[in-house]
């Protein structure tokens, strides 16, 4: 076993060596511009792009013409939200989303608000799921779009996408989903899930960074999106810019591998995740899972170790790469807004660790991680005045703290 161990697979994943091998020739030999129509360099590049387009479409149940290549999910989300707001501006100016979305959706919505779009940010229930009744009630005759993520990047909670799309369809509202954490990990099908627009990103499922795609439905209904970048009119006019052929070929290969291996892989990851969870919970007291365990990605574990601060825990397990919802680990010095939205209290957000188990993690690594976390949490609790007080029977919620 090699240290350090990478177990932060919601942030990014290692490029699968098989994906890398597919990409290699497109840097050195097949380097043409896919838009060059008059020589073999261009034709071969275009062929690679079209192959990848089909591989992506096959993974999510779409047709190749419905796939628009982008630089990643941030761009896909921007293009979807801004492009729809602009295209459908005459029909209405209201978008519904939820508070636990990724910043690429939330900050895009904030920008749109400055331009006169009205945005409803739905709260989530304690398990991280959107309340469908609240969603239904939020729809007005001005609503043009619902944007709710497929699966959350911190707590791995999978939203009831089919139910959401049914409500959207019933009300004649478009449905976009940021499916970055779900695509390649769990079955996503734009037909059976009723998705109109979907964002995905290559590096979240063992493809390269810097490439993503936007699925834009062409039938029932035909979704139109106003381009947000001017240029050569690539990607059927929706996204100008010379295509990143090596990365696109890699994204396609990553999709094909994911499609073939998902049933086996998700079973294996679920076993490892459950093993990690069971070991932590049987060895330590006052450990809390954040978000629904039932509606959850198979490889995600987000867990709070009460009375232990997240950054100090990360420091103790510094040969393991994971992340924390603690304020000290964020640039803004605010604890995770996703965990806060669950209503569990800031103290549990400060004590949270996110494990993202991936394709290249082994059972041996999971055992090592469990041992190490148990050891460090135990040590830090000996150091924790809160743990001491809790053991003495003091109700910490009744103490008047000097907040600073």
Assign 199 to helix, strand or coil. strand
CB 308, min distance to other proteins, A: 7
Q: Which of residues 25-54 bind other proteins (CB under 8 A)?
A: none
Given 108, 159, 312, 352, the residue binding other proteins (CB under 8 A): 312
CB 381, min distance to other proteins, A: 9
Euclidean distance between CA atoms 330 and 371, whole angstroms: 26
Residues touching other proteins, count (CB under 8 A)? 29
8 A C-beta contact, residue 317 and residue 8 = no
CA–CA distance from 75 to each of 92, 234, 246 (Å)? 23, 15, 18
Q: Does 404 bind other proteins (CB under 8 A)?
A: yes
Given 333, 393, 395, 398, the residue binding other proteins (CB under 8 A): 333
Q: Does 396 bind other proteins (CB under 8 A)?
A: yes
Task: Supply 275's token pair.
Answer: 């093993």
Euclidean distance between CA atoms 177 and 80, whole angstroms: 9
Q: Which of residues 364-393 bind other proteins (CB under 8 A)?
A: 382-388
CA–CA distance from 289 to each of 64, 164, 215, 286, 328 (Å)? 39, 25, 33, 10, 20
Given 128, 184, 246, 335, the residue binding other proteins (CB under 8 A): 335
Q: Does 309 bind other proteins (CB under 8 A)?
A: yes
Euclidean distance between CA atoms 65 and 57, whole angstroms: 8
Catalytic residue among 35, 186, 262, 328: 328
Q: Does 308 bind other proteins (CB under 8 A)?
A: yes
Given 345, 372, 374, 378, the residue binding other proteins (CB under 8 A): 345
Given 2, 116, 219, 401, the residue binding other proteins (CB under 8 A): 401
237 backbone φψ class: left, alpha, beta (φ>0; ψ -120 to 50): left
Residue 328 bears catalytic tag: yes
Residue whose entry in the numeric block shows the structure tokens 């954490």: 181
CB 387, min distance to other proteins, A: 8
243 backbone φψ class: left, alpha, beta (φ>0; ψ -120 to 50): beta
Q: Tell me the catalytic residues.
A: 328
Q: Which residues bind other proteins (CB under 8 A)?
A: 307-312, 315-316, 326-328, 333, 335, 345-347, 350, 382-388, 396, 401-404
């Amino acid at each position: 076993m090699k240290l350090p161990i990478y177990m932060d697979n919601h942030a990014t994943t290692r490029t699968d060596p098989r994906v890398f091998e597919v990409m290699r020739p497109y840097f050195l030999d097949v380097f043409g511009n896919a838009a060059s129509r008059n020589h073999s360099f261009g034709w071969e590049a275009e062929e690679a792009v079209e192959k990848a387009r089909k591989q992506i479409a096959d993974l999510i149940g779409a047709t190749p013409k419905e796939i628009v290549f982008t630089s990643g999910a941030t761009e896909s989300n921007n293009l979807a939200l801004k492009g729809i707001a602009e295209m459908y501006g005459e029909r209405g100016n209201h978008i519904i989303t939820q508070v636990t979305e990724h910043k690429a959706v939330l900050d895009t919505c904030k920008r749109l608000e400055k331009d006169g779009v009205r945005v409803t940010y739905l709260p989530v229930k304690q398990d991280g799921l959107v309340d469908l009744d609240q969603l239904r009630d939020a729809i007005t005759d001005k609503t043009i779009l619902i944007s709710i993520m497929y699966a959350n990047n911190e707590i791995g909670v999978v939203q009831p996408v089919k139910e959401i799309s049914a409500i959207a369809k019933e009300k004649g509202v478009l449905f976009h989903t940021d499916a970055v954490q779900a695509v390649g990990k769990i079955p996503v099908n734009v037909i059976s899930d009723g998705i109109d627009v979907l964002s995905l990103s290559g590096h979240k499922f063992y493809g390269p960074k810097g490439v993503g795609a936007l699925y834009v439905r062409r039938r029932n209904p035909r979704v139109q999106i106003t381009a947000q970048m001017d240029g050569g009119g690539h990607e059927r006019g929706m996204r100008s810019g010379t295509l990143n052929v090596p990365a696109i070929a890699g994204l396609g290969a990553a999709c094909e591998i994911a499609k073939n291996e998902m049933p086996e892989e998700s079973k294996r990851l679920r076993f490892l995740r459950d093993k990690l969870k069971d070991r932590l919970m049987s060895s330590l007291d006052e450990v809390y899972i954040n978000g629904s365990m039932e509606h959850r990605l198979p490889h995600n574990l987000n867990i709070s170790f009460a009375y232990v601060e997240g950054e100090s825990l990360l420091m103790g397990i510094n040969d393991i790469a994971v992340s924390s919802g603690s304020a000290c680990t964020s640039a803004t010095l605010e604890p995770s807004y996703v965990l806060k939205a669950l209503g569990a209290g800031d103290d549990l957000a400060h004590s949270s660790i996110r494990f993202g188990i991936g394709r290249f993690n082994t059972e041996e690594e999971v055992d090592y991680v469990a041992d190490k976390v148990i050891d460090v949490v135990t040590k830090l609790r000996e150091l924790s005045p809160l743990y001491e007080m809790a053991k003495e029977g003091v109700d910490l919620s009744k103490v008047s703290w000097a907040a600073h």
